[in-house]
Amino acid sequence: MAENTNKGGALAGLRVVECATVVAGPLCGRLFGDFGAEVIHVEHPKKGDPLRDFGFTIDGINPWWKYYDRNKKLITLDISKPRGREILFDMLKDADIFIENFRPGRLEAWNIHYEDLAKINPRLIMIRVTGYGQTGPYSSQPGFGTIAEAMSGFAEMTGEPDGPPTLPQFPLADTCAGFYATMAAMFAIYNRDIVGTGKGQVIDVSIWESLFSILGPNALVNHVTGRSPRRIGNRAPTSAPRNTYKTKDDRWITIASATQTTAIRMFELMGMPDLVKDPRFNSNSNRVKNVDELDKLVTAWTTQHTRDELSKVLHAAEVPFGPINNVADIMTDPHAIAREMIVEHTDVDGRKLRMEGVFPKMSATPGRVNRVGGALGADNAEVFARIGLTKEQIAELSKSGII
């Protein structure tokens, strides 16, 4: 059983070794760590994880590093060297999951093959996260989330009709890949431990396919209609009204009255109940066809009221709506506070950090934040001692650049 500070976590006893950088692979490991697994994050002794230098660092705090690499033990090891490879193999003898995100063929060039790992640990599950997958003509190319967001169709269908394709400013594709990798690993654990095969397997996750798979039945739509999704701003091709609407105090809200009952309540609230009898707006399909006229009416109404005024009446009428929040709004929102969407954690230096909480919620085995991303090699002594290395050996390996 793996030692872990989150004794009651759903994954207590699960051991994960993570040789991955930036977001997709490390997010997968972080999710395991959030729910009690022991996650050992392996970094190059000199280079470290580039995520440590993402965005900005203020007073020694890099938000990306602190967040994505929380709940992990941090060690340094050059697995490209023969001695580093040997140490990695020793660590994987009793591991459940091995996460890596090197370009296909890189591990094999270092003589690290799943077939050899399976001989020493047949139960090992290996997660391989890459831009395009382990096979196919693009597999050898470097892959990043931004490229996947372009190639998946996401950018082409996002933005205003007369504007350029639009990319997200957060790691959308990487996040999808991290989620899929975690889910697939749990499928593999179920097959190994509950179905009872006792065997691990290789999980091949591509960032490109991860995002493509969540964008809806676009391929089937194209097959049936011969058309591809087009940019329609904040509207939806499936329902109306659905858009962002400006308010009297220059704020914004979003409304999604897709069902007939919510549309009726919306029209009544606008003081225009007869709209439901108007052939342009008497059904969802007709509202979609006449969305320009509908949005003009809704905007004329919302701009007569402040965001707070609209929030009260729309909530009271149970019309699906939400304010367009920034993160500062969320951090003071009473519902977000009640749900622990934001939590406070005391770092090793005593500083209190507020960050995103653990999700999803579990009643019997909730996840928690036990530690945040720390110093390079912070847990070398503990982890390497466990596989039999003495202090003198660790010091020598450090001197030679292996650790």
Domain annotation covers residue 77:
yes
Query: Tell me: the pLDDT tens digits for 38-91?
Result: 999 999 999 999 999 999 999 999 999 999 999 999 999 999 999 999 999 999
Domain annotation covers residue 38:
yes
Domain boundary among 262, 293, 323: 323
Q: What's the distance, CA 392 to chain centroid?
A: 40
DSSP conformation letters of 150-183: HHTSTTTTSS-TTS-----SS-HHHHHHHHHHHH
Residue pair 148/207 in contact (Cβ under 8 Å)? The answer is: yes
Are 347 and 387 within one domain?
yes
> What is the overall mean pLDDT for the chain?
96
Query: Tell me: the pLDDT tens digits for 280-302?
Result: 999 999 999 999 999 999 999 99
Domain annotation covers residue 219:
no
Domain annotation covers residue 260:
yes
Domain annotation covers residue 287:
yes
* Distance, CA of 148 to CA of 131 (rounded, Å): 7
- Which CATH number fits the domain that encloses residue 269? 3.30.1540.10
Domain annotation covers residue 37:
yes
* Distance, CA of 180 to CA of 335 (rounded, Å): 28
- Which CATH number fits the domain that encloses residue 81? 3.40.50.10540
Are 92 and 200 within one domain?
yes
Are 72 and 120 within one domain?
yes
Q: What is the pTM of this model?
A: 0.94
Are 168 and 38 within one domain?
yes
Asked if pLDDT for residue 3 goes beyond 50, the answer is: no
First and final C-alpha spacing in the chain: 25
Are 134 and 275 within one domain?
no
> CA torsion, points 79, 27, 357, 255, in degrees to nearest 10?
170
* Residues with catalytic roles: 174
Q: What is the pLDDT of residue 257?
A: 87
* Neighbouring C-beta atoms of residue 115, cutoff 10 Å: 7
Domain boundary among 323, 349, 375: 323
Domain annotation covers residue 236:
no
* Count of domains forming the chain: 2
Span 105-113, mean pLDDT? 98
Residue pair 263/331 in contact (Cβ under 8 Å)? The answer is: no
Span 117-140, mean pLDDT? 98
* Neighbouring C-beta atoms of residue 290, cutoff 10 Å: 15
Domain boundary among 323, 348, 372: 323
Are 285 and 199 within one domain?
no
Asked if pLDDT for residue 366 goes beyond 60, the answer is: yes
- Find the helix or strand (DSSP H, E) in which 102 lies: none
Are 384 and 261 within one domain?
no
Query: Tell me: the pLDDT tens digits for 151-178?
Result: 999 999 999 999 999 999 999 999 999 9
- Find the helix or strand (DSSP H, E) in which 126 lies: strand 125-130
The parent domain of residue 381 ranges over 15-214+340-399
Dig out the tokens for 283 from the structure: 């059904």
Are 301 and 352 within one domain?
no
Q: What is the pLDDT of residue 150?
A: 98
